Amino acid sequence: MGRLKTLSEWLVWQEGLHTQEIDLGLERIQSIYQKLFPNGVPFQVITVAGTNGKGSTVAFIDSIYQQSDFKVGAFTSPHLIKYNERFSVDGKMMSDERICQAFDAIEACRSTTSLTYFEFSTLAALVIFAVEKVDIAILEVGLGGRLDSVNAVKPNVSLITNIAIDHTDYLGDTREAIGFEKAGIMRKHTPCICGDQDPPASIQKQADNIGALLSFINKPYQGSITLKGEHQQYNAALAVATVNQLQSLFPISQNQLSVGLEKANISARFQIKHINHKTIVLDVAHNEAATKALADTLKAEKLPTLAIFSALKDKNIERMIAVIESCIDEWLIVPLSVNRAISIQSLVEKFSPSSKIITCENMASAIHQALNTQQCPRIVIFGSFHTVADAMKILDKY
């Protein structure tokens, strides 16, 4: 390949390099990782797996360390608007230039190894964090755990937020099977903290098999946080336990901890905007468990609510609708312009005949209609990262 110049050129090229978008396995990434970091990475690693709550938990830990003098990097996915969102150091998103330099370093080692888009981003995060000389890197697993590219790196602490049914094509269709996949991020003699309130037995079993130091969070954090919903109090408690595990290396004061947790914020997790005297809630809930948490948070304030909704075809959409429909008075459903999107016709068939649904040509018309509907003061936009990203681009113009 000739030398690529811009970030967008790099990303288009990466998408075409490996034919499968999702191709779990560590052989490819491990060979490049060992060339880039023959002695392992020069920072402490916190690896975060789980079905839901990964992004929020990363945000809590990141925010706590930002209150200190320790330098912290965070690698998250997917991005909402800009690819650069995946890489932050001390809360600052990395520049195109810094990311392209990392891609150059990876390409110099790659030879004939075919890497997926996500494997490139994982390696780029490690290169960026090494160049930026971070003390701690928080790495969010993309899918599963055991075979996810993040698992090429040995963590100093690993976290499992929770286990719910999602990505069944890759991870199995029971909580036990999915738990086994997430538990793959554990290491011998290394702390792993699990925040699931009803953990599948496979997690403890895997810890016993390999000699990992597993502990469980069973009480929510009692202090003040900005993120809404009881599930976020549990994510905050998981963040506290993580910071405590690294306290001897990176001491954090009680004040830094409480300020960090209160300041933590993350886009599209019950994010609220006010437009035209309406409350708009943006939430990336994209499976049954996340949709139930969203419904529970909506129920805290009883308001006539209109939903703008779309989802990917590999999700259990009927269950997502079932757990939230008692909170929704009217549905506007929209098409998504991605490969895994469900067709509008198929989406309509997922609703019960009694649901009040209107199909919209696109997100712009759905938002226009929602903002001009008199009877619903609250609008909730959810169903996928893609749904929320499409909405955010339009709402920013209001």
Look at residue 1 and tell me whether its pLDDT is greater than 60. Answer: no
Q: Is residue 238 part of a domain?
A: yes
Look at residue 393 and tell me whether its pLDDT is greater than 90. Answer: yes
Work out the average pLDDT over 107-135: 96
Do 247 and 281 fall within a single domain? no
Give me the helices (H) in the chain, please. Answer: 7-17, 27-36, 54-66, 96-110, 117-131, 168-171, 175-183, 201-210, 230-245, 254-263, 288-299, 317-324, 344-348, 363-371, 385-395
Chain-centre distance for alpha carbon 139: 11
Confidence at residue 125, expressed as pLDDT on a 0 to 100 scale: 98
The CB density around residue 130, as the number of other CB atoms within 10 Å, is 18
Instruction: Show the tokens assigned to 254.
Output: 């009680």
Do 124 and 174 fall within a single domain? yes
Q: Indicate the residue type of 334.
A: V
Tell me the three state secondary structure of residue 7: helix
Alpha-carbon gap, residue 266 to 60, rounded angstroms: 9
Domain boundary among 209, 237, 263: 263
Whole-model pTM: value is 0.94
**Cα angle 358-385-80, degrees, rounded to a multiple of 5:** 125
pLDDT band at 290 (very low <50, low <70, confident <90, very high): very high
Residues 48/141, Cβ–Cβ less than 8 Å: yes
Look at residue 21 and tell me whether its pLDDT is greater than 80. Answer: no
- 159 vs 16, higher pLDDT: 159
Residues 160/192, Cβ–Cβ less than 8 Å: yes
| Sequence-distant (≥ 6) Cβ neighbours of residue 55 within 8 angstroms | 76, 140, 266, 269
Instruction: Please name the residue that has the structure tokens 């602490």.
Output: 157
Do 213 and 290 fall within a single domain? no
Confidence at residue 167, expressed as pLDDT on a 0 to 100 scale: 62
What is the number of residues in the chain?
A: 398
Alpha-carbon gap, residue 179 to 163, rounded angstroms: 6
The CATH number of whichever domain residue 23 belongs to comes to 3.40.1190.10
Confidence at residue 168, expressed as pLDDT on a 0 to 100 scale: 59
User: Model confidence over 303-344: pLDDT tens digits?
Assistant: 999 999 999 998 999 999 999 999 999 999 999 988 889 999
User: Model confidence over 40-80: pLDDT tens digits?
Assistant: 999 999 999 999 999 999 999 999 999 999 999 999 999 99
Alpha-carbon gap, residue 78 to 389, rounded angstroms: 11
Do 71 and 132 fall within a single domain? yes
Cis peptide upstream of residue 78 (ω within 30 degrees of 0): yes
Domain boundary among 263, 297, 314: 263
Concatenated DSSP letters of 215-265:
EE--S---S--SS-SHHHHHHHHHHHHHHHHTTTTS---HHHHHHHHHH--
Instruction: Show the tokens assigned to 333.
Output: 């459903």
Do 314 and 243 fall within a single domain? no
Phi then psi for 361, rounded to 5 degrees?
-65, -40
Looking at 164-173, 176-185, 377-386, which range is the least confident one? 164-173
Q: Is residue 2 part of a domain?
A: no
Do 60 and 105 fall within a single domain? yes
Q: Is residue 146 part of a domain?
A: yes
Domain boundary among 263, 282, 306: 263
Look at residue 2 and tell me whether its pLDDT is greater than 60. Answer: no
- How many domains does the chain fold into? 2
Q: What percent of the chain has pLDDT over 90?
A: 89
In terms of DSSP bridges, do strands 191-194 and 157-160 run parallel, antiparallel, or are they unpaired? parallel
Q: Is residue 1 part of a domain?
A: no
Q: Is residue 163 part of a domain?
A: yes
Do 256 and 316 fall within a single domain? no
Do 243 and 296 fall within a single domain? no
Confidence at residue 24, expressed as pLDDT on a 0 to 100 scale: 78
Q: Look at the alpha carbons of 343, 346, 351, 355 in this order and tell me if their dihedral is positive or negative.
A: positive
Range of the domain at 320: 271-395
- How much of the chain is helix, strand and coil, in % rounded to 5? 40, 15, 40
Closest by CA position to 359, among listed 326, 396, 324, 331: 331
Do 182 and 293 fall within a single domain? no
Q: Is residue 37 part of a domain?
A: yes
Q: Is residue 204 part of a domain?
A: yes
Q: Is residue 161 part of a domain?
A: yes
Do 253 and 295 fall within a single domain? no
Residues 286/385, Cβ–Cβ less than 8 Å: yes
Alpha-carbon gap, residue 332 to 370, rounded angstroms: 8
Give me the helices (H) in 88-174, please. Answer: 96-110, 117-131, 168-171
In terms of DSSP bridges, do strands 92-93 and 87-89 run parallel, antiparallel, or are they unpaired? antiparallel
Do 234 and 276 fall within a single domain? no
The CATH number of whichever domain residue 343 belongs to comes to 3.90.190.20
Residues 116/18, Cβ–Cβ less than 8 Å: yes
Do 118 and 32 fall within a single domain? yes
